[in-house]
Amino acid sequence: MAHHAWRSVVIRLVLLLLLTASLTACGDPDLPRLVDDDQALRLLQIARGPLTGYFHLQAPQVKVAGAIVTAHMADGNKYSTGVFDNDAANAVQRAAEEMAARYGKQIGEQAFKLSVSLLREPKRMWSTGLREKGLGYARGLYAVAVAEEGKGYAFSDIEMHVNGLPLKSVVKALKRKKGVRMLGKAPKGGEFLAPTESFTEGDNNTVVRLYRASTILPDIDSEAIREGCKLGGDYLCALLQDNNKFLYEGNVGRDKYNKNYNLLRHAGTCYSLYQLHLATGVDRYRDVSDRAWIWLRKQLEFERDGDTIYAYPVENKVIKLGGTGLMLIALSERLTISHSEDDLRLGKNLANHIMRSLQEDGSFLSYWPHKGKKAKRRRSIYYPGEAMLGLMRFYAHNPDPRYVECVAKSAQYLIHERWRIIGLELTIPPDAWLMIALDELHRVRPQKDYADYCLKLADSMVNDQFDKDWEILYPDYRGGYFPYPPAVTPAGARMEGLTSAYLLAQRAGRDTTAIKRTIALAARFQVERIIRPEFAHLYPNVERGLGAFRHSPVSNRIRIDYNQHNISGLLVAARILEEQ
């Protein structure tokens, strides 16, 4: 474990030195504020004046390179104008006047919110490829502009981030005079980047400070965590289609979804929505999950061997152990909500398939032959933990001792044999499903090695968190996990594992200080990744964007399991953080 921790620290130090050195080539994005909140509010009022006929004459005098003003319409459209000017108020005023002249008819009497991006001193751009990889550039913190003979076109930091625009294609588009036409004389010719300071209109005449088309949250409490979970649940509800499948994967910044699908993640989403219903009492989460469960039931196939019936979901003629495990986990939540003999009978059949997948050495077959065809021999890292948790959660509804025996045998293999060669441990996998299963098993059989291994996995996760100032390149990385940039799904899965490790440690009389601190930091990072009401209007489809857990601070990719993992872990975190 010590070797793992030191290796992680050394890698992070090397990356930090490289990235820090590169940032000096284009200015540090963590620069002092150009305007305070009162000044930012005044600039937004100045921008609104030409569009509403109500003018504000008092203006802050702040030196800038220019400004881009955008009207975000209630119907998802947006209109942007920009000006190169060394005074913020003049730049915003002229940009708003240009917007009124050019787009006044389109805007009309519609509801809209404004955002302003103030451009700092621009820096010459070199090698878009290297910059795209983080050398002297971070998406969402810079406007990009191309100017020739004093005339220029630009994309704001907000536009770059929301749409996930790559630098190379943006520069080509700007050279073709696409993007925001910038009035005034450009401070530089050629291609350049301008660090920005951006803000948007909030409710009740307030200012919302933006950071990568989002906001930086302070430390949050349990109530804020639960509200974030409810936003995440509402988002999943909005994605359910008439065929009882979810819009599975896409980009929330472009409001586009592809046709990929995954049965396991569908089952996991049912599980998280049932959990959310139990935690909040909101019936809609249960009702949507019930509809999604209908689709899941249709994927089942059954086998009979004498008096024993085996059930398992099939996807593309493949039988995955994880699919059966996750379906049994979701079914157990259904039984917690409302007892059903039909669900109980199905649970027994699913459990039968899991038990027959256990091998003599304690390992599981990750894949089962479908209708006589050979199954994949590959072993999944996570399927065994999902199967074990399914059995332990169902054990609470059908206390068959065979379930515990099966899980205990697998636990012995996973703890003492997996990832070992000639007695040496090769790695410590971030297996959150196993951690949850070990917590459940420890409740029934409080063996020391279950606690030891679960907490060993937890220690590895604690070591991988970005929690020290020297390793946090940007404020929205704090609380995430290695590697750079920290992603939301690993954070969500780790939260599921760490909260279980905390409960096990507490029950076993172990120290929980480090785990609880990690949970608190991670919760802030995770909730920060949600598209929240104060800035949802920056995205093209508020109804289908609000509540999405975005892939990372620098990516707006989404997938239903991003929300599933984060909701499941955060619901438990909220309870833990309420403890004194």
Q: Report pLDDT for 27.
A: 41
How many CB atoms are closer than 10 A to CB 59? 17
Phi, psi at 82, each rounded to 5°: -145, 160
Q: Report pLDDT for 425.
A: 67
CA 292 – CA 294 distance, rounded (Å):
5
What tokens does 513 get? 């200080």
Please, which residues have CB within 8 angstroms of residue 430's CB and are 6 or more apart in sequence?
457, 460, 461, 464, 490, 493, 494, 497
Helices within 24-87 (DSSP H only): 37-52
What tokens does 544 get? 């289908």
Q: Report pLDDT for 18.
A: 56
The angle that helices 513-528 and 488-508 make with each other, rounded to 10 degrees, is: 150
CB 315 within 8 A of CB 263: yes
Q: Which residue has the tokens 């608190």?
A: 520
CA 59 – CA 45 distance, rounded (Å):
10
The answer to pTM > 0.85 is yes
What tokens does 478 get? 């704090």
What tokens does 244 get? 């009882």
Q: How many CA atoms lie within 13 A of 175 on its CB side?
A: 9
Phi, psi at 309, each rounded to 5°: -110, 135
| DSSP class per residue in 341-397 | HHHHHHHHHHHHHHHHTB-TTS-B-SEE-STTPPPP----SSHHHHHHHHHHHHHTT
CB 577 within 8 A of CB 221: yes
CB 301 within 8 A of CB 332: no
- Which residue in 433, 313, 422 sits closest to 381, CA to CA? 433
Q: Report pLDDT for 1.
A: 45
How many CB atoms are closer than 10 A to CB 140? 26
Q: Report pLDDT for 127.
A: 72
CB 130 within 8 A of CB 91: no
Q: Report pLDDT for 139.
A: 86
CA 107 – CA 158 distance, rounded (Å):
20
Identify each DSSP E strand in 44-131 by its residue range.
66-73, 78-84, 112-119, 123-124
Classify residue 412 by burial, with Cβ atoms within 10 Å: 0-12, 13-18, 19+: middle
Dihedral angle, C-alpha 79, 82, 88, 90, nearest 10 °: -100
- 3-state SS of the chain: helix, strand, coil percent to 5? 50, 15, 35
Indicate the helix (H) or strand (E) that contains 190: strand 190-201
CA 545 – CA 252 distance, rounded (Å):
6
Mean pLDDT by 10 residues, the chain (580 residues): 56 59 48 92 94 70 96 95 96 96 91 97 79 74 89 95 93 93 88 95 95 95 98 98 98 96 98 98 98 98 97 97 98 98 98 98 97 89 97 98 98 87 70 98 97 96 96 95 95 98 98 98 98 97 96 97 98 93
Q: Report pLDDT for 151.
A: 83
Which residue(s) pair with 250 in the sheet? 257, 558
Phi, psi at 257, each rounded to 5°: -125, 140
If you ran DSSP here, which 8-state letter would residue 538 be given?
G
| DSSP class per residue in 262-275 | -HHHHHHHHHHHHH
CB 114 within 8 A of CB 72: yes
Q: How many CA atoms lie within 13 A of 178 on its CB side?
A: 8
Alpha carbon 12 to chain centroid, angstroms: 22
